[in-house]
Structure 1
Amino acid sequence: MKKTIFIFATLIIALLLLFQLSKFSIMQGNSSLEFIIASIAIIFLFIGIYINRRKENPNQKPTAVAINHAQIEALGLSKREYEVLCKLAQGHTNKEIASLLFVSESTIKTHVSNVYTKLDVKRRTQAIQKAKELEILPIS
């Protein structure tokens, strides 16, 4: 998170610096406004391409974890409870899950409670962590 904040802060500072340089150039009468705008756009285009390439590291291959269906059955999770668990892992709230699955929020609370009981946990984070340990969650 700190790295992202640093990158965006650096980009904002660079943008402000470029605007100040363009203002100075216009006041001096050295450059036309179109040239300055085009150069700023090109600079940020290359910055965007550079950031995108760094994010798309081709050497990094996602490790696929097969979902352990036998473990899901052993825990006794119903199909709907498993859907709710997957939505919990994606970070959705009870209200959002209810909206996504077209059921009431109290129904979701019941499913979440059943998931907690079957996984023998007390919190969402514990449920997600245990589900990952049991390899019953898809990679997202």
Structure 2
Amino acid sequence: MKRHALIFGLVGGLLIATLQYTEYRFVIIEHSVELYSALVAILFAAFGIWLGLRITRRREVIRETIVIKEVLVPAEVPAPAQEEVSFAPNTAHQQTLGITPRELEILALIARGLSNREIATQLFVSENTVKTHCARTFDKLGAARRTQAVQRGKELGLLP
């Protein structure tokens, strides 16, 4: 009895597997164009989503970096005209470091909390020129950020 049930189960399983296989082949052959079209559409949609996320992430990271750099610069630094006129920078340190008068002027504007764009507008130069002067000044002062450059300039007597 157990033997008959086992044989009956095996034969039934083989018949079901055969029917499933033929049905599967029929579906694949009959609807192959639709299946391939759907597969291509899914691949292109996934690629588009991935590419869109990758592009927008880069822009967000750049924006965050700029915001972080702008937040580190003091927003309200007192800069009365009288103090700037009465203050004389330490020319010995300035010559030793090789800082030009234009670089010192830009460093003073950075200390007032101006952005590169605002400095460029005020000095009538391009923003790239301001960035170049900033990079050279940072190198000469050994600073990695704007706040470090301002602090180092004050320590050396270049800024009030």
In structure 1, the partner of 2:77 is: none
Matching residue's letter, 1:95: R
Does structure 1 residue 82 correspond to structure 2 residue 85?
A: no
In structure 2, the partner of 1:72 is: 94
**2:122 paired residue among 65, 88, 100:** 100
Q: Assess if the C-alpha contact under 8 Å between 1:72 and 1:136 holds in 2.
A: yes
Give 5+ residue unaligned stretches, structure 1: 1-61
Moved segments of 4+, more than 2 Å: 64-67
Equivalent-residue separation in structure 2 for 1:115 and 1:67 (angstroms): 15
More helix by proportion, 1 or 2? 2
Equivalent-residue separation in structure 1 for 2:88 and 2:119 (angstroms): 24
TM superposition shift of 1:99: 0.4
Give 5+ residue unaligned stretches, structure 2: 1-82
TM superposition shift of 1:69: 1.0
Equivalent-residue separation in structure 2 for 1:112 and 1:84 (angstroms): 7
Bigger-Rg structure (1/2): 2
Matching residue's letter, 1:123: R
What secondary structure does 1:99 align onto?
A: helix
RMSD: 1.6
Give the number of equivalent residue pairs: 76
Among all aligned residue pairs of Structure 1 and Structure 2, give the percentage whose two residues are the same amino acid: 49
TM superposition shift of 1:96: 0.3
Equivalent-residue separation in structure 2 for 1:67 and 1:114 (angstroms): 18
In structure 1, the partner of 2:70 is: none
